[in-house]
């Protein structure tokens, strides 16, 4: 199956599926239902590590797989009609029967799933977001306070041209904006070392990404910080983005605390009491997310206890192997 430039593989497979069924282009209802199915199923895979692991080597979605998925997500139950089960089962069966059993590749046109964030087509479903119609490549940058996320993101921006979006910086800027409806709320969470509600953070990230829609990609550091953050991302932003990988800057707590107390950036939460709360929050809420994303083979670990140049050398190797972003000349 030839792939049209810029078109997600899942969408192209769906178009082939529709042709097999004799569905006319003007029957937008069927097209949208199928696209909704593909998007929701990708969310189920992401949010359920066991299912994702079991299906990682199986690129064909069967009706049985869908029934399993439906038990795991109310969104799939609500939005995917039973008739799609028969459609998918019929077409996949027909394709597989035509394929030689010895072939390592899936049959042409069979519905594909990647255990990752699938990009939902720009024209479809704008109910939960005000996102401009573009598809953004994203790298999450995660790690404990003081691990060097900001320093390394600046180096990545300088060498690869990505836009750096720090969830913390966005929240602090919003806190200081005179007419912000979230100012007091953000201030309270920052002082207490707790996580700001995901609805606020996602709105700020969404706006920042729209402001730089021509960027080759986005580095989002300090997000997602917990399961609620990840769920919020899936609800509002995952549909219009492609998560390439997660940079995890691993560092001991002793080194992180020493760095935070010595950096003198004027942050309200760079004090001993707030740091202890932030580190506790990170260990209890953020590490499980990193571990979960690692089960999906998305995490790229970096030893960030070293000096900045040595850390960046590790990151450059990761970017080179991934191949999604070109280094500046």
pLDDT at 135: 75
The whole-angstrom separation of Cα 191 and Cα 34 is 46
Alpha carbons within 13 A on the beta-carbon side of 59? 16
Q: Which residues are annotated as a binding site for ATP?
A: 146-151, 263, 306
The predicted model scores a pTM of 0.59
**Cα angle value 156/143/198 (rounded, 5°):** 100
Tens of pLDDT along 89-136? Answer: 554 555 455 554 444 444 443 333 333 333 333 322 333 445 444 578
Q: Which residues are annotated as a binding site for CMP?
A: 229
Assign 308 a pLDDT band (cuts: 50, 70, 90).
very high
pLDDT at 30: 52
Assign 315 a pLDDT band (cuts: 50, 70, 90).
very high
Task: Answer with the one of 38, 68, 97 that is the final residue of a domain.
Answer: 97
Q: How many CB atoms lie within 10 A of CB 27?
A: 13
Residue 264, classified by CB atoms within 10 Å of its CB into exposed (0-12), middle (13-18) or buried (19+), is exposed
CATH assignment at residue 190: 3.40.50.300
How many independent structural domains does the chain possess? 2
Q: How many CB atoms lie within 10 A of CB 70?
A: 19
Looking at the structure, tell me whether residues 81 and 145 fall in a common domain: no
Tens of pLDDT along 229-275? Answer: 998 898 888 878 889 999 999 998 888 888 888 876 555 556 677 78
Domain residues for 65?
Answer: 9-97
Q: Which residue has the higher pLDDT, 68 or 229?
A: 229
Q: Which residues are annotated as a binding site for a ribonucleoside 5'-phosphate?
A: 172, 194-196, 222-225, 267, 278
Q: Which residues are annotated as a binding site?
A: 146-151, 172, 194-196, 222-225, 229, 263, 267, 278, 306
Q: Mean pLDDT: which of 88-102, 124-138, 144-158, 273-287 is highest?
A: 144-158
C-alpha dihedral (91, 97, 102, 106), degrees to nearest 10:
-10
Q: Over 50: is that where the pLDDT of 75 sits? A: no
Per DSSP, the chain holds a count of helices (H) and strands (E) of 15, 5
Looking at the structure, tell me whether residues 165 and 263 fall in a common domain: yes
């Amino acid at each position: 199956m030839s792939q049209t430039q810029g078109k997600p593989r899942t969408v192209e497979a769906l178009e082939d599926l529709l042709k097999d069924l004799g569905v006319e282009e003007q029957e937008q209802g069927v097209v949208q239902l199928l696209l909704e199915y593909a998007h929701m199923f990708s969310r189920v895979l992401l949010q359920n590590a066991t299912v994702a692991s079991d299906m990682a080597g199986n690129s064909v979605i069967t009706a049985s797989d869908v029934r399993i998925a439906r038990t795991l997500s109310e969104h799939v139950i609500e939005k995917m009609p039973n008739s799609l089960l028969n459609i998918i089962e019929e077409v996949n069966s027909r394709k597989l029967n035509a394929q030689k059993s010895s072939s390592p590749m899936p049959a042409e046109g069979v519905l594909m799933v990647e255990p990752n964030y699938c990009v939902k087509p720009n024209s479809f479903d704008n109910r939960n977001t005000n996102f401009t119609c573009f598809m953004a490549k994203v790298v999450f940058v995660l790690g404990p306070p003081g691990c060097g996320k900001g320093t390394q993101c600046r180096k990545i921006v300088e060498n690869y041209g990505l836009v750096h979006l720090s969830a913390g910086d966005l929240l602090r800027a919003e806190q200081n904006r005179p007419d912000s409806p979230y100012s007091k709320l953000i201030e309270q969470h920052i002082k207490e070392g707790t996580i700001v509600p995901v609805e606020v953070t996602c709105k700020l990230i969404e706006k920042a990404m729209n402001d730089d829609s021509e960027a080759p990609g986005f580095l989002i550091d300090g997000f997602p910080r917990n399961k609620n953050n990840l769920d919020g991302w899936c609800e509002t932003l995952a549909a219009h983005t492609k998560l390439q990988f997660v940079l995890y800057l691993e560092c001991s707590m002793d080194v992180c605390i020493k760095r935070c107390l010595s950096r003198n950036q004027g942050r309200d939460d760079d004090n001993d009491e707030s740091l202890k709360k932030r580190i506790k929050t990170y260990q209890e809420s953020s590490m499980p997310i990193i571990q979960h994303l690692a089960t999906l083979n998305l995490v790229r670990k970096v030893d960030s206890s070293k000096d900045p140049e040595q850390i960046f050398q590790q990151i450059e190797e990761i970017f080179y192997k991934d191949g999604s972003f070109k280094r500046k000349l």
